[in-house]
Amino acid sequence: MTCEQVLSVDVTENNAGSFPIGVRILVVESDPTCLRIVSKMLQVFGYEVKTATRATDAMHILREKEDEINLILTETHLPDMDQYEILETVGELSSSPIVVFSADNNESTILGCLFKGAELYLVKPVIKNDVKNLWQLTYRTKLKTAVSGEGSNTFHGGSAEQNTSSLTVGNPASTMGMTDQKGKRKELEETDNDHEYIDNLTAPKKSKLVWTNELHNIFLQALRIVGVDGAHPKKILQHMNVPGLKKENVSSHLQKYRLYLKREQDGMQKTAVLHQHLIHKEGSLNTQTRNSS
């Protein structure tokens, strides 16, 4: 079997760095054999693998444990969902980067997936080298928090291996025209066309903090630790332990996050009412369990 050959991954190649270790990846693949092979490959490199064979299973996992997933690897030909539907649905459910792997080698299919939000498209058969560096996608936009005025930080954990060096992960522009796709590559985007004169010497340019997926995940992790009672900016900030991050940053993000939760909850109430009706029917059937004598 070629399967077993693929499984003989050279573990020695993994010694270069311990980077994929701890990266949690959700693999969605309907074919059990393929799922097993890919999962094994990932595990050898140190990924933490969760699996699903159906789109609905994947959705359940994401709904309940979205913050425990860093990366999603999915097939597009699933029994219970169309190829692009899975991308759309998962994209709404999770902020993690989505990688598609499929045997379909059509250019239009590949581009379609990329336009639908996939970060990367791998053509089967997937080999170890395809999978080895996927963890880099979780660092898609690096943390840039190095600013002046570093206060006293007496606490360091070890959670963040944030490397600001060149983690060049191509981000397929999501705002491209869809009809014209020729192989135009722009490697350099040095946009010097800003003719804005900075009047003052003491204006080093404030750059807004960008809440990347990674940063948001740290935020969610901190939220989980402090619990609902302690979900306040100062405590969250301490648990996040990200250098340069300010309490105000967390406050702002927390506000946005709460709005998001509320909006989600309001949306859920409609469906919740429907479910309640169903439950009520079942419940009324069971009410006669307590018939004495």
Partner DNA sequence: GAACTAATAT
Partner DNA sequence: AATATTAGTT
Which residues lie below 8 Å from residue 130, measured CB to CB, with a gap of 6+? 101, 122
- The number of residues in the chain equals 293
Please identify, using beta-carbon distances, which residue of 50 and 239 lies nearer to DNA: 239
Structural contact between residues 56 and 32, judged by C-beta atoms closer than 8 angstroms: no
Strand 120-123, strand 48-52: pairing: unpaired
Residue (261 or 272) nearer to DNA, CB: 261
Tell me the closest approach of the beta carbon of residue 257 to DNA, in angstroms: 9
Is residue 204 within 8 A of residue 148, CB to CB? The reply is yes
| Strand segments (E) across the chain | 24-28, 48-52, 71-74, 98-102, 120-123
The minimum distance between CB 234 and DNA, in angstroms, equals: 3
Shortest reach from residue 210's CB to DNA, in Å? 4
CA proximity to 239, closest of 251, 223, 256: 223
Q: In whole angstroms, how close is the CB of 255 to DNA at the nearest point?
A: 5
- Residue 12 CB, nearest distance to DNA (Å)? 40
Report the DSSP beta bridge partners of residue 26.
50, 72
Quote the least distance from Cβ 80 to DNA, whole Å: 29
Hey, CA dihedral for 166, 168, 174, 178, is it positive or negative?
positive
Q: Which two tokens stand for residue 38?
A: 């890919």
| CA–CA separation, 23 and 211 (whole Å) | 19
Q: Which is nearer to DNA, 256 or 275 (CB)?
A: 256
Closest CB to DNA among residues 65, 256: 256
Q: Tell me, letter by letter, the H, E, C secondary structure of 105-151.
A: CCHHHHHHHHHCCCCEEEECCCCHHHHHCHHHHHHCCCCCCCCCCCC
Please identify, using beta-carbon distances, which residue of 82 and 248 lies nearer to DNA.
Answer: 248
9 vs 220, which CB is nearer to DNA?
A: 220
Least distance between DNA and beta carbon 169 (Å): 18
Element (H, E) at 32: helix 32-45
3-state secondary structure of 78: strand
Binding footprint of DNA on the chain (CB under 7 A): 206, 208-211, 231-235, 247-249, 251-256, 258
Q: How far is the CB of 11 from DNA (least distance, A)?
A: 38
Quote the distance between the C-alpha of residue 277 and its chain's center.
35
> By C-beta, is 160 or 254 nearer to DNA?
254
For DNA, the closer CB: 173 or 279? 173
